Structures are given as structure tokens and as C-alpha cells.
Amino acid sequence: MAHKDLISKHILKRLLLDIGIHLFKLDLVDAELLSTEEQRVEERRSDLVAKVKTAQDQHFILHLEIQTSNDSKMPIRMLRYLTDIQQAHPKQRIHQCLVYIGEKKVRMANTLNSPQLSYCYDLIDMREIDYQTLYNSDSPDAASTCHTLRL
């Protein structure tokens, strides 16, 4: 059985190279087949996701994440949240925002760029927001938000 697997992998590698070279015009000389078998058992839950309506009667889904520490993988996490939300609500526009409330200065990127993808989301460091922005608003709930987000 191991011999058949070795032959199959060689054939698949050659097929991959030939398709890449001849059909996609990639300048390939070699390839290493990678395992695509990944066991994933996880529970992902976005912090806040809501259907919202603007004063201009625009409707969209707002995804709000609250982060307490710098996470270099945050753009990938946010992209996964986006695809999960988009899959559940395929016809809806989605706007994503991350609110950072950590003690240290924010160092996380809010973009993910590759040749196939250009992705970004809004990122606010609450340490840079003047507490008066929420505290002096006309909404009593905004003042409590100041305390909730540790302003």
C-alpha cells in the first residue's frame, strides 16, 4: 500500500507542476505536496454581531470585536469571522470594527494583503480616544460605555 501512495503522490505532484506550468504559465521547477488534512474542532464566537440601520435607512451587519491584548493573528481571526458571518448572511453587507482596550499600545495590523486578497477592518485604540467623546454625548448609555471599556 505504501508503494501505491508513493506512486500516487508522484503522479499528483507531476500533475500539479504541469497544470501550473502549462495552464497558468507559472515558472515552476519543483513542488512539495503539503498535507491538506486538518482536523478542526473549534468553537468561534464573535463578540457582537447585529443587523443595524443608519439614519439614511441603510441596512448592514455590524461586527464588533473587543480585544484586550495585541494578537499578531488578529487579521486572520477577523477574516474568519467575516467568512462565517457572510456565509450565514450571504446577501448582507458586513462592516467589521475592532476596539482595542489593552494596557499596551496597539501593535496589531488591521489589514491582510496577499496577491489574492486585500482585506481590512476598522481598528480603534480606546487609549487614544478622548473620554469626553462618549461622556459628553446626549446618550446616557454612552457614559456607561466609558466605564465598561475602561476609559
| 12 and 52 within one domain | no
pLDDT (average), residues 19-29 = 84
CA gap 61, 96 in Å, rounded: 8
pTM summary value: 0.72
| 30 and 59 within one domain | no
pLDDT digits (tens, 9 = 90+) for 33-89: 777 666 666 777 888 899 998 889 989 999 999 999 999 999 999 999 999 999 999
Range of the domain at 1: 1-36
| 16 and 87 within one domain | no
- Over 70: is that where the pLDDT of 5 sits? no
| 67 and 9 within one domain | no
Q: Which residue stretches of the chain are H helix?
A: 2-18, 74-88, 132-135, 140-148
Domain-located, residue 43: no
Q: What's the number of domains the chain is made of?
A: 2
CA gap 122, 66 in Å, rounded: 12
Determine contact, residues 145/124, Cβ cutoff 8 Å. Answer: no
pLDDT digits (tens, 9 = 90+) for 96-144: 999 999 999 999 999 999 999 999 999 989 888 776 666 666 655 554 5
| 52 and 31 within one domain | no
